[in-house]
Structure 1
Amino acid sequence: MDEEKLDKELQKIWDESPVSHSAETKEASWEAFRSKNFTPKKRKLKAWHYYVAAASVLLFLFIGTGIYFTESPIERGISTASTVIENTSSEVKTIVLPDSSRVDLSPFSKIKYASDFTVNRKIDIEGEAYFKVKKDKNHPFKVFCNETTTTVLGTSFIVKEDKDSKVTVELYEGSVQMNVKGLSQKWILEPGDKFIYGDKIAEVEEFNRFTDFENQKLAGVGDYIEKSYGYKIIVPQEFANQRITVRINKKEDLKTIVQLISEMYDLDFEINEDLKQITFQ
């Protein structure tokens, strides 16, 4: 192979490699690479020797930067300019992201996202978090946990990683697509599906995403709200023994549940954030 043709072939490989930089940066890096490694003296080598030496250098560079032709690792796309939020408390911490999505971050868990999050909606997570995602078809929302990627096609789900690095994703509303590093298979989850990945094995099973109240006292719903959301419910005495049949999504917004009770019994309500108390009247 003549040197000019070889030069073009190597540059083609360089340009087609999945490096996340601009075309100008790639061109400049190619010129620097070529001038450093292919001096006129080296070009006097026999063609086959030149080819093997050049290929070896390229292979070394690609492996050194985590680029492989046989496998494309998950591209997280989170730059060094990022925001890290860690919940060191013993209570769930609610975070509103720059795109207005909500994250309920469990104790001793951590998330990291890019400073340009509104256009680069990618998040790393360690631990457990519940996501309520704002829809944006032009900017996919992706959550990375261990070797898994959750691509959001819907709205609300839980991602958690245990001490053994097993990842579980529970979908409450909408739909998500699951990918695992090194596997070509994709899993599309529907509400009520649980994706489990551990020890290089992925599986999907069902879980119960509802809490059902069958002809129970309204006070029982109040106990559930206090336990699940941390708000004490006060209802007029004449309504405390009222019977109710209702199915509640375990990750339903508290205000939605309160509004439902208000409409069912024609009651007004007041929320006191300081006291964590909801009073119906």
Structure 2
Amino acid sequence: MTKHDATDLQALIRKIQEHTATAEELRRFLHMTEQPAMDELLPYGEWQQTDGEALPPGLKEKVIQAAPQRRMRLLKSYLRKTLPYAAAVMLLLALHQLLPRIGQRTPALLTVTSKDGEIKRITLPDSTTVILNARSTIRYAATPDTLREVFLEGEAYFDVRANEHKPFVVRSGALSTRVLGTSFNVRAYPGETQQLGVVSGKIQVSSPEGKSVLLGKGDQVTYDAAASFVSIATDPQQMSNWQNGIIDMNNLTLQQVAAILERWYSVKVILLSPGIGQHVLSGTQTNSSLTATLESICFVYNLQYEQDGQIIKIREK
């Protein structure tokens, strides 16, 4: 067994305990428990402390009813040998709630994509409103299940229809955002720092490392390559200025703004002079004119640019 297998198993157990595991992740977890030499996947000595301790008969019967008997016998035996009693009970309770979905056909996902410079407004089957920023993609089921779940790549503003019996989950890159009813913005472009801001209500954001933060109205955080959450002391309403055709450059580097310009104007921005990508900008700019935006940026930092078709090169004067 590999280190990757151990990390995968640890992540699966955490998701199941937090009630965020998908049906496919539960299938993979149960498949792993049936493999030989499972003990090699568990490098946590403190787990080996309740060998043979029986589970409550009532709980045992409920869980057995929720899954095929043969598989649950193996799983119950594995849990007794590898998890502390309390953790085993938590895990089995979570499985009891989620396992009925196993075996059901995974619903086909609908995909909506916005092109460069395009903003799209979508109404999901549960009446939640989503506004997609440029060069973004969202995938969702045509019919909402017990867990309303969407997958986002790029940036979107969500106005979630409240339903306390069906939580709404946004999966963006490595993060999982769970809400009941609220409005918030998620920026999750590949290769860029993720950023989340809450306009109303509350959201809970979880990372694969087991970190979790609860955000309320006015809160805003980033999630960086170091797998840590960092609070931002700005108005999250500004984070969604893009809906009104405004580029918010406050506290963004030239490198970050260049990525925004590429998405909005379908161009490639090349920063030729070393270090200029780290210049920190401020203010806002209406994105109706690429030329006006470039001239404004270059004026502030004594830069110059040249454009050849869809290629823009920026350098020091």
TM-score (norm 1): 0.48
Q: Which has the larger radius of gyration?
A: 1
TM-score (norm 2): 0.43
Higher strand share: 1
Higher helix share: 2
